[in-house]
Amino acid sequence: MIGTADKFEIKLSLFEGPFDLLLFFIERDELDIHDIPIAQITNDFLDYIHHPDHLNLEVASEFILVAAKLMRIKAKMLLPRPQLDEEGNEIDPREELVRHLLEYKRYKEVVSQIAEMEKLRLEKEKRGNLLTEIKKLSESVQLEAELQNLDLYKLLKVYQNVLDRYEIEKNRPIHEVVQYPYTIVNQKKFILSKLKRKKKASFLDFIEMMPSKVAVIYNFLAILELLQLQLINIQVGIGFNNFWVEPIEQVQAA
């Protein structure tokens, strides 16, 4: 602490967070937390974060965010027209800040109590029958893999369980999506190119050229589309499960 004629300065240590710093200012200056002099506490807060040796870089963004909120509250309080709620009552811009500070203060009190309880617990001597108690707990919940009760039979049983799970995973059905190298557009081009050379072709000819089931389906759908577009004509033989395809130009020329 360095004293002067009209003021004194306190060198602060690093604080855990911005609300920790605000509570320090309130307690130091004995301020009413429900009626915070926002201009004073904003200036103190900004003075603190302007010193990089004070600011914890790991939480610097939190300090800057709270500083922005403080300046926003200060600006609201300087406005000539206060904000009103639905009932016409004036809204205090500090209300949210006060609520957060009170919550943080309660949190700190609880943490300090827990820390004190932890300190008292660490000062106590551990009981000597810890291994026996752990063994009883393992027996009560039927944990067969407890190391303190391990034997060859249990190791073999665990090994068998691993093998069973491996077999299940190995035989699990695998669903694979196959992208076939066919499209209706390409098959239409393919059929028209064949008809330019042969002028007439049976559907069995296309099956022999591309015998796979998927290719047959795509070729059949392509023929139906060409027929709908009036680019080909179909001749069906009597008594045969076959048909012939020929281009419209060929039919019109005949």
- pLDDT tens track for 216-227: 999 999 999 998
Which pLDDT tens digit goes with each residue over 178-215?
Answer: 778 889 899 999 999 988 887 788 888 888 888 889 89
pLDDT digits (tens, 9 = 90+) for 150-161: 667 777 888 888
User: What's the CA gap between 27 and 157, in Å, rounded?
Assistant: 64
In the chain, domain spans: 10-83+90-119, 184-253
Residue predicted with more confidence, 60 or 55: 60
pLDDT tens across 81-131, in order? 677 777 777 777 788 888 888 888 888 788 878 888 888 887 776 666 667
Question: pLDDT over 90 for what percent of the chain?
Answer: 6
Distance CA 214, CA 245 (A): 20
Mean pLDDT of the chain: 75
Domain 184-253: give its CATH architecture: Orthogonal Bundle (1.10)
What's residue 248's pLDDT? 81
Q: Can you give the pLDDT at residue 155?
A: 77
Residue 46 has pLDDT above 70, yes or no: yes
